[in-house]
Structure 1
């Protein structure tokens, strides 16, 4: 039977093997082999796949909710909306930076340190926005004041 070329190339067994590429070496020989590795994610269980699907759906729902909060914040600013925006923006940023870490940070120790840093940054961001909402004019009024300048 026929197997599409991309299916053969993207098969998990092929991705977990060493990557071999040709690199030109001008001094000694025309070409030599340079070995490397492709970073792949580990196999996930079915429950993990469901959780990932729900997480993806949650990210999309949050993005749509944020789009609705923008005009609502301008039309009817309120403390409830200020705190809701603070929570939504913090969660949106936390998930986004988490995806960047997943893509670019490798190694157990580095991943743990990076995740701890993101959690600390997200916590500080949320409490900073809440402090601003409580002790100052709030996010909705602050953005309105910026647009009036």
Structure 2
């Protein structure tokens, strides 16, 4: 350890300078203050305890753990959907037909579903509200999203449609 300390160099502002600029470090000797302090330091030489041994055993375990899901593809799809919705809304002001109504219903439904999913992931974690309630919230997102999409599609097929409804509201 003493030899290692004598070779440690710090780089400050692009220059290498010897440790603490002390000439005794260059000869491999420690000043008496450091010589007495280092062996008793709990930071440099931690004492083994049952907790640290258990942590070391768990850290070196070879058990296979569940890999968290990769949300990169979903995130990219969310961004593509958000960008695709930018021209969709102005186009819906001028195009009033079933295709535009259904495109709007699906786009808005997916956008709201992804937003709800992120909110539940952030605020309904198992350690915050419990395992059972967290799973219930995660499953309820799908129920709410399906009911919302079914309601929008039902409105499109049985009434005037989303685009015509907004035109009627703005005509008031």
| Unpaired stretches in structure 2, ≥5 consecutive residues | 1-9, 12-64
CA offset digits 1:74-118 (Å, max 9, x no partner): 111210110111111111101101100111112231221001211
Give the alignment of 1:1-149 within 5 angstroms. 44=67, 48-49=69-70, 52-107=71-126, 108-149=131-172
C-alpha distance in 2 between matches for 1:70 and 1:53: 26
How many residue pairs match? The answer is: 106
C-alpha distance in 2 between matches for 1:97 and 1:43: 25
Runs of at least 4 residues off by over 3 Å: 42-45
Match of 2:151, SS state, is helix
C-alpha distance in 2 between matches for 1:95 and 1:58: 10
C-alpha distance in 2 between matches for 1:147 and 1:43: 52
Q: What is the RMSD of the two structures over their aligned residues, measured on CA atoms?
A: 2.0
Please identify the structure whose Cα radius of gyration is greater: 2
C-alpha distance in 1 between matches for 2:125 and 2:93: 42
TM-score, normalised relative to structure 1: 0.65
TM-score, normalised relative to structure 2: 0.57
| Unpaired stretches in structure 1, ≥5 consecutive residues | 3-41
